[in-house]
């Protein structure tokens, strides 16, 4: 017999039911069921709820109600939920009714319009834990069978018993209603257990152990890392809209706006950058305004499954099916149909995340555009628009293939945290949630905290950014002795080592990244390297005049000639931009400041240390994951989701050893780092994954385009040179990604690619630029895509929607930038020349052009070859390869050894920021990291979990807003012309600003070796 006309209930339509919304006035509950009883019993771990017997109950009596488990119960399930036994018996105790009454009384009034986009999101908790490190959110949500059935299943839909036993092949096996088994992961998985794990006698304040495991207590089903738990809820709402016209329109709009604006200002000095964080802030009111303008109370109710609208069931707001006269029909007004199409869904955090991801992949100007500018304006080589499009698209998209092919290594494991993504998730939570639990006496909600700090940060930036710049360059010691070179060298900020770490500018503090995001153990690595290399070795070598460094500033991003002046590359080139050996010998060698020398040495050591450290600590994991990835390529994987199976003792344990890691810490461990999965990855198994062949075809097609570009156009790079460049990026992609995912510090391949191309293809500056673009940018773009894939996992974005979104945004932004670039080159008078109007001198492109001359024309052989001045730097490769082995040997068998926290790839690689970064940027950054990620985290853990990531996001957002307002609203129109006072000039008066050298070259004399 046909089913009754009641609203279907489906497992793919899983939604979080707000316990505070369960009342007689809620249409959702009126049409689904009435929750009469909830009886949590910590003793037996069984939660029972009774429903009135009705036709509604007949249709959904087999659907279990899932409740977020409490650590007090020692339970946890694969979906962060707990199966409840359902009973149609009207008998219940009076005590149980009190729970429902309490939930109804706590319902909030005066909800915002945004809250209606999340009618099922939990705003309160059923249970409260005594442990701060437990589950963040405890939500009630409903689940039932999937709507996706075969034709055979549909023919049997009239029988409730048959329909209850028919699900998708890839859907998880639901627990039986008659056997309320409590699901909890095994606390001692054999494969992931490491000998010598921490016992329960560990110190509570030990930063290495955030959650202790013992024989009886089972850790909650959440991320094992505190910073992830503080920012990402371990839940998923499958009913939220994602794939809507609103999301696509806003994504494309911001991709075009941000990419064109950033490219426009990248050719100007001074420049300004529009960061994706600004898009994150601006798009939120636009999304709310979209709903306000297009939504109507009479619109039919929409059902979204996995982000996509379902057309087979349309219901009115009161839950009744549409009658024939109310059903959408082609005869309806085209305006109404257009409005309903545009108004699909509600603005929510998932759509917000998608717009942010599209901005993140498109806002940074394409590095290939710099190559085009250099070829067109400096080398006078205009190869046409088709070349520009193919070069830009291939370099931008190749990285996505790397990111997709390495998902098993860099995205899915729980140890791959990607700390920078946590700032975004904290902002989504602050903007879309109303949850507000007291934290160490602080009761302000995260959203209000964010708004107030953001506004305060933007307002305060007017002081160091405009009215009182001395607060930014607060080298107060040099103000008392402005002409003392030694004082300027040691305590200066502009050209000194920054031994006085004080500044009032968040832009200086966060120059190398937000210190609130980076783990403190990683900051200690960086600070240790800064202390040994830049604060001890650099001054000793500088004042000893090693490699003639005393004749140059102690810190500078420029290279110098033998008279201590910035090197003029135009003197060693012919009119056709060909290297002139005779002119080079008549002019000067290229000399490097001592910090530049040490920066090169550190980058050389970082490259080999990265390979050595990764092979020693993660080699087995990488091989194991490679076998799994290869198996995925050869055959289709099994079910999308691995259900938990119960042992004879009734405790449910993972069927795969990769599902849970027994030893949970606040920072990523070294063993089995790539094998452990958390609840976020398991929740993502609900969605159809992107086939690995999609990424393979993307990579192969872009590689073919790249080969066509280098072979057809006169860039003087053979096809095997392109393969070499891509091989460098691909081989080092996983090691660099692991380090960045754990420490938030990226090891750059820019210099390495320049040196390798200069050695293999000498005398080819254009080939050097193209080689560097394919080797360096492919890897950098891939890391950005991997970070966005992790953000998509945290926010539970369906992978296929994310794939289409990222590729579309990348293609649109690339084409936009090509169009804007050609317009600027054609219509801005004197562009890329000192006479350019309004400062469009192409400063970044000129720096890269100088680099192509130094490494592509002069060549690395004249720097590091036999008999060259900087030949000793090549020994850094050997040092970087051996040093991790020295650390690994004593630390491999002791899990509590402090040496296990030493990552030499981070120590060496992060200091490559110097120059242009100074010692101040690192020292003040490390101090702030210590205060928040060690002291406050250990002393006020609840405050840290609730506000730390929100604080970082608010400070960054306020800074970005302040920069934009000051530049576009005040500086760009010229309103501050001639504004001067003591606070704007005092830091410019001494040797720090003027970059005075320790030794001066006598008039008419030179320094350096007398023999070439």
3-state helix/strand/coil string of 27-83: HHHHHHCCCCCCEEECCCCEEEEECCCCHHHHHHCCCCEEECCCHHHCCCCCCCCEE
Closest CA to 767 of 863, 852, 858, 861: 852
Q: What is the pLDDT of residue 188?
A: 34
Strand, helix or coil at 898? helix
The answer to whether the Cα torsion of 340, 341, 342, 348 is positive or negative is: positive
Span of 327-341, 630-644, 652-666 with lowest mean pLDDT: 652-666
Q: Give domain status of residue 523, yes or no.
A: yes
| 646 pLDDT more than 80 | no
The stretches of 555-593 forming alpha helices (DSSP H) are 581-587
CB-based burial, 513-522: b 16+ in 10 Å, e otherwise = bbbbbbbbbb
Nearest to 955 by CA among 985, 996, 994, 925: 925
Ramachandran assignment for 418, one of left (phi > 0), alpha (psi -120 to 50 degrees), beta (any other): left
Let me know: does 905 contact 735? Beta carbons within 8 Å: yes
Q: What are the residues whose beta carbons fall under 8 Å from the beta carbon of 951, sequence distance 6 or more?
A: 449, 453, 516, 932
- Average pLDDT (500-510) is 90
Q: Tell me, what's the pLDDT at 637? A: 43
Contact 926, 523 (CB under 8 A): yes
**Residue 171: Cβ within 10 Å count:** 18
Q: On the CB side of 391, how many CA atoms lie within 13 Å of its CA?
A: 30
Indicate the number of domains in the chain.
1
What is the rounded CA–CA span in Å between residue 930 and residue 157? 61
In eight-state DSSP terms, residue 1002 is P
- Neighbouring CB atoms inside 10 A of 694's CB total 17
Give yes or no for residue 143 having a pLDDT over 50.
no
Confidence of residue 154 (pLDDT cuts 50, 70, 90): very low
Residue 94 domain-assigned?
no
pLDDT of 641: 40
Largest CA distance in the chain: 104
Rounded to an integer, the average pLDDT of 362-391 is 89
C-alpha to C-alpha distance for 989 and 828, rounded to whole angstroms:
35
Identify the band that residue 632 occupies on the pLDDT scale cut at 50, 70 and 90. low
Q: Which of 22-31, 380-389, 477-486 has the lowest mean pLDDT?
A: 22-31
Q: Cα(379)–Cα(768) distance, rounded to whole angstroms?
A: 13
Please state, in angstroms and rounded to a whole number, the distance separating the CA atoms of residues 329 and 982.
Answer: 72
- Residue 394: the pLDDT is 94
In this structure, the number of other CB atoms found within 10 A of the CB of residue 953 comes to 31
When mean pLDDT is compared over 230-244, 263-277, 661-675, the highest value belongs to 230-244
Neighbour-count burial of 151, counting CB atoms closer than 10 A to its CB (0-12 exposed, 13-18 middle, 19+ buried):
exposed
Q: Compute how many other C-beta atoms are within 10 angstroms of the C-beta atom of residue 531.
A: 15
Q: Identify which has the larger pLDDT, 785 or 64.
A: 785
- The pLDDT tens digits for 61-77 are 333 323 333 333 233 33
Residue among 806, 50, 72 nearest 403 (CA):
806
Segment among 249-263, 310-324, 739-753, 769-783 with least mean pLDDT: 310-324
- The predicted pLDDT at position 849 comes to 83
What is d(CA 386, CA 157) in angstroms, rounded to the nearest whole number? Answer: 56
**Closest among 957, 809, 819, 818 to 253, alpha carbons compared:** 809
pLDDT in tens, 102-117: 434 444 434 433 333 3
Buried b or exposed e, range 727-766, using 16+ CB within 10 angstroms: ebbbebbbbbbbbbbbbbbbbbbbbbbbbbbbeebbebbb
Q: What is the pLDDT of residue 403?
A: 93
Per-residue pLDDT tens over the stretch 407-421 = 888 898 888 888 889
pLDDT of residue 19 exceeding 90, the answer is no
pLDDT at 470 over 60: yes
Whether 802 is in a domain gets the answer no
Ranking 165-174, 319-328, 385-394, 1001-1010 by mean pLDDT, the lowest is: 165-174
Q: How far is CA 426 from CA 112, 245, 280, 502, in A?
A: 20, 25, 12, 28
Paired residues of 591 in beta bridges: 560
DSSP 783: H
pLDDT band at 635, cuts 50/70/90?
A: low
* Position 175 confidence tier, pLDDT thresholds 50, 70, 90: very low
Residue 982 inside a domain? The answer is yes
- CA pair distance 301, 345, nearest whole angstrom: 9
Stretch 748-760: mean pLDDT = 88
**Which pLDDT score is estimated for 748?**
80
Q: Please give the mean pLDDT across all residues of the chain.
A: 74
Q: What average pLDDT does range 122-139 have in this prediction?
A: 36
> What one-character DSSP code corresponds to residue 720?
H
Write the pLDDT tens digit of every residue in 663-712. Answer: 344 455 555 566 667 788 888 988 999 999 999 999 999 999 999 999 99
Task: Look at the chain and count its residues.
Answer: 1012
Segment of 192-196, 372-376, 679-683 carrying the highest mean pLDDT: 372-376
> For the residues 50-65, what does the mean pLDDT come to?
35
**Amino acid 93: pLDDT:** 38
Count of C-beta atoms within a 10 Å radius of residue 640:
16
CA angle 794, 795, 797 (to 5 degrees): 110
* Nearest in space to 115 (alpha carbons), one of 288, 351, 295: 288
pLDDT tens digits, residue range 814-831? 999 999 999 999 988 888
Omega prior to 73 cis, within 30 of 0? no
Quick one: tokens of 756? Answer: 């390798």
- pLDDT at position 790 is 94
- Identify any residues that bridge with 579 across adjacent strands, giving them in sequence order: 573
Confidence of residue 164 (pLDDT cuts 50, 70, 90): very low
| Percentage, residues of the chain above pLDDT 90 | 29
Helical residues (DSSP H) of 483-593, grouped into ranges: 485-491, 506-509, 520-529, 538-543, 581-587
Give the pLDDT score at 292.
Answer: 93
- pLDDT, position 674: 60
Q: Is residue 951 part of a domain?
A: yes
Strand pairing category for 301-305 and 39-41: unpaired
CB-CB contact of 929 with 520 (8 Å): yes
When pLDDT is averaged across residues 530-537 and rounded to a whole number, the result is: 88
| Whether 132 contacts 439, CB under 8 Å | no
| Residue 912 domain boundaries | 457-595+875-994
pLDDT at 348: 94
Dihedral angle, C-alpha 177, 178, 183, 186, nearest 10 °: -140
Determine if the peptide bond prior to 916 is cis (ω within 30°): yes
Instruction: Give bridge partners of residue 15 from the DSSP assignment.
Output: 142
How far is Cα 775 from Cα 607, in angstroms, rounded to an integer? 14
pLDDT confidence band for 850 (50 / 70 / 90): confident
Q: How far is CA 122 from the centre of its chain?
A: 26
Mean pLDDT of 338-358: 94
Instruction: For residues 100 and 140, give the distance between their C-alpha atoms in angstroms, rounded to a whole number.
Output: 13
Sheet holding 39-41, edge to edge: 39-41, 46-50, 85-87
> Which residues in 607-618 are b (16+ Cβ under 10 Å) and which e?
bbbbbbbbebbb
Contact 11, 144 (CB under 8 A): yes
CB 666 within 8 A of CB 209: yes
User: In terms of pLDDT, which residue wins out, 477 or 179?
Assistant: 477
Alpha helices, DSSP H, located in 238-319? 245-266, 276-294
* Average confidence (pLDDT) over 637-656: 39
- Does 473 fall in a domain? yes
Q: What is the DSSP string of 757-768?
A: HHHHSTT-HHHH
Q: Give the three-class secondary structure for 794.
A: helix
Tally of CA atoms within 13 A in the half-sphere of 357 that contains its CB? 33
Residue 875 has a pLDDT of 93
Place of tokens 């806003």: 250
Q: In this structure, what token pair is assigned to residue 411?
A: 């995205």
Residue 393 has pLDDT above 90, yes or no: yes
Candidates 211, 287, 275, 209; CA nearest to 246 is 287
DSSP annotation of 182: P
With contact defined as beta carbons under 8 Å apart, do 697 and 369 qualify? Answer: no
DSSP string, 845-890: HHHHHHHHHIIIII-THHHHSTT-TTGGGGHHHHHHHHHHHHHHHH
CA–CA distances in Å: residue 946 to residues 25, 236, 449, 523, 866: 32, 20, 10, 22, 57
> How confident is residue 354, by pLDDT bands cut at 50, 70 and 90?
very high
Q: Please enumerate in sequence order all residues whose Cβ is within 8 A of that of 998, keeping only pairs 6 or more positions apart, or say none.
A: 485, 486, 489, 542, 543, 550, 551, 554
- Would residue 579 count as lying in a domain? yes
CA pair distance 797, 307, nearest whole angstrom:
8
Residue 782 has what pLDDT? 93
Of 965, 873, 987, the residue nearest 920 (C-alpha): 987
Q: Which of 171-175, 551-555, 738-742 has the highest mean pLDDT?
A: 551-555
Task: Decide: 526 and 946 in contact? Cβ < 8 Å.
Answer: no
């Amino acid at each position: 017999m046909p089913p009754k006309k009641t609203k279907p209930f489906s497992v793919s339509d899983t939604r979080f039911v707000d316990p505070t919304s369960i009342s007689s006035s809620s249409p959702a509950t009126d049409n689904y069921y009435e929750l009469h009883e909830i009886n949590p019993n910590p003793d037996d771990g069984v939660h029972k709820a009774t429903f009135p017997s009705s036709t509604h109950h007949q249709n959904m009596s087999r659907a279990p109600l899932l409740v977020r488990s409490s650590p007090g119960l020692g339970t946890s399930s694969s979906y962060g939920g707990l199966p409840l036994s359902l009973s149609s018996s009207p008998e219940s105790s009076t005590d149980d009714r009190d729970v429902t009454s309490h939930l109804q009384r706590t319902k909030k009034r005066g909800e915002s319009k945004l809250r209606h986009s999340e009618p099922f999101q939990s705003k309160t908790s059923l249970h409260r834990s005594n442990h701060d490190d437990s589950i963040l959110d405890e939500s009630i949500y409903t689940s039932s069978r999937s709507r996706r059935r075969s034709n055979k299943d549909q023919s049997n839909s009239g029988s409730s018993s048959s329909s209850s036993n028919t699900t998708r092949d890839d859907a998880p096996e639901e627990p039986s209603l008659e056997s309320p088994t409590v699901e909890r992961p095994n606390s001692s998985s054999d494969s992931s257990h490491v000998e010598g794990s921490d016992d329960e006698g560990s110190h509570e304040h030990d930063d290495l152990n955030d959650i202790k495991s013992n024989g009886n207590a089972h850790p909650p089903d959440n991320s094992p890392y505190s910073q992830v738990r503080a920012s990402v809820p371990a839940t998923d709402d499958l009913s939220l809209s994602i794939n809507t016209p609103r999301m696509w329109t806003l994504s494309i709009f911001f991709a075009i706006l941000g990419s064109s604006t950033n490219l426009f200002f990248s050719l100007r000095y001074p420049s300004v950058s529009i960061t994706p964080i600004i898009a994150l802030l601006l798009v939120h009111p636009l999304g709310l305004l979209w709903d306000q303008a297009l939504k109507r109370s009479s619109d039919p109710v929409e059902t979204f499954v996995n982000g996509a609208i379902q057309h087979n069931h349309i219901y009115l707001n009161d839950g009744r099916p549409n009658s024939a006269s109310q059903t959408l029909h082609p005869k309806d007004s085209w305006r109404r149909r257009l409005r309903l199409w545009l108004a699909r869904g509600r603005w929510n955090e998932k759509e917000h995340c998608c717009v942010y991801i599209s901005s993140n992949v498109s806002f940074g100007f394409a590095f290939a555009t710099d190559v085009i500018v250099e070829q067109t304006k400096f080398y006078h080589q205009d190869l046409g628009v088709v070349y520009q499009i193919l070069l830009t698209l291939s370099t931008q998209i190749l990285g996505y293939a790397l990111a997709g092919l390495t998902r098993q290594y860099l995205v899915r494991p729980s140890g791959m945290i990607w700390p920078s993504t946590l700032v975004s998730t904290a902002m989504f939570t602050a903007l879309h949630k109303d949850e507000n639990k007291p934290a160490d006496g602080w009761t302000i909600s995260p959203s209000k905290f964010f708004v107030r700090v953001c506004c305060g940060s933007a307002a305060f930036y007017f002081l160091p950014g405009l009215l009182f710049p001395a607060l930014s360059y607060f080298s107060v010691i040099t103000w008392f002795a402005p002409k003392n070179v030694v004082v300027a060298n040691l305590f200066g900020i502009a050209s000194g080592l920054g031994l006085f770490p004080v500044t009032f500018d968040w832009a200086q503090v966060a120059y190398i990244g937000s210190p609130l995001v980076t783990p403190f153990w990683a900051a200690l690595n960086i600070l240790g390297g800064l202390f040994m290399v830049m604060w001890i070795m650099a001054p000793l070598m500088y004042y000893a005049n090693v490699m003639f460094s005393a004749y140059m500033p102690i810190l500078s991003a420029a290279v110098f000639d033998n008279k201590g002046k910035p090197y003029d590359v135009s003197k060693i080139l012919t009119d056709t931009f060909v290297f002139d050996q005779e002119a080079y010998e008549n002019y000067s060698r290229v000399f490097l400041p001592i910090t530049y020398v040490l920066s090169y040495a550190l980058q050389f050591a970082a490259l080999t240390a990265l390979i050595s450290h990764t092979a020693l600590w993660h080699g087995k994991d990488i091989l194991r994951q490679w076998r799994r990835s290869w198996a995925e390529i050869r055959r289709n994987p099994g079910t999308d989701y691995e259900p938990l199976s119960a042992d004879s003792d009734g405790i449910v344990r993972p069927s795969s050893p990769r599902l849970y890691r027994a030893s949970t810490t606040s920072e990523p461990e070294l063993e089995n780092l790539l094998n452990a999965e958390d609840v976020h990855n398991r929740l993502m198994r609900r969605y159809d994954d992107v086939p690995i062949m999609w990424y393979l075809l993307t990579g192969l097609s872009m590689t073919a385009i790249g080969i066509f570009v280098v072979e057809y156009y006169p860039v003087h790079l053979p096809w095997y040179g392109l393969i070499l460049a891509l091989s460098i990026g691909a081989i080092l992609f996983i090691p660099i990604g692991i380090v960045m995912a754990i420490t938030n510090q990226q090891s750059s391949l820019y210099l390495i690619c320049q040196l390798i191309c200069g050695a293999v293809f000498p005398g080819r500056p254009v080939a050097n630029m193209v080689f560097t673009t394919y080797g360096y940018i492919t890897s950098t773009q891939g890391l950005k895509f991997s970070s966005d894939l992790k953000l998509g996992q945290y926010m539970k974005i369906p992978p296929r929607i994310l794939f289409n979104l990222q590729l579309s945004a990348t293609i649109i932004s690339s084409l936009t930038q090509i169009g804007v670039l050609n317009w600027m080159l054609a219509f801005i008078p004197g562009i890329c020349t000192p006479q350019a109007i309004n400062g469009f001198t192409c400063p970044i492109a000129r720096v890269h052009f100088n680099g192509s001359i130094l490494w592509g024309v002069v060549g690395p052989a004249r720097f590091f070859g036999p008999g060259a001045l900087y030949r000793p730097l090549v020994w850094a490769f050997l040092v970087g390869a051996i040093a991790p082995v020295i650390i690994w040997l004593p630390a491999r068998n002791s899990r509590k050894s402090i040496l296990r926290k030493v990552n030499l790839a981070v120590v060496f690689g992060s200091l490559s920021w110097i120059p242009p970064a100074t010692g101040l940027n690192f020292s003040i950054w490390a101090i702030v990291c210590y205060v928040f990620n060690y002291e406050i985290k250990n002393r006020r853990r609840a405050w840290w979990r609730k506000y730390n990531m929100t604080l970082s996001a608010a400070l960054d957002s306020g800074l970005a807003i302040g920069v934009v307002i000051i530049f576009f609203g005040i500086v760009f129109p010229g309103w501050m012309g001639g504004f001067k006072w003591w606070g704007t000039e005092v830091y410019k008066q001494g040797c720090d600003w003027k970059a005075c050298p320790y030794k001066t070259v006598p008039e008419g004399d030179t320094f350096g070796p007398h023999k070439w």
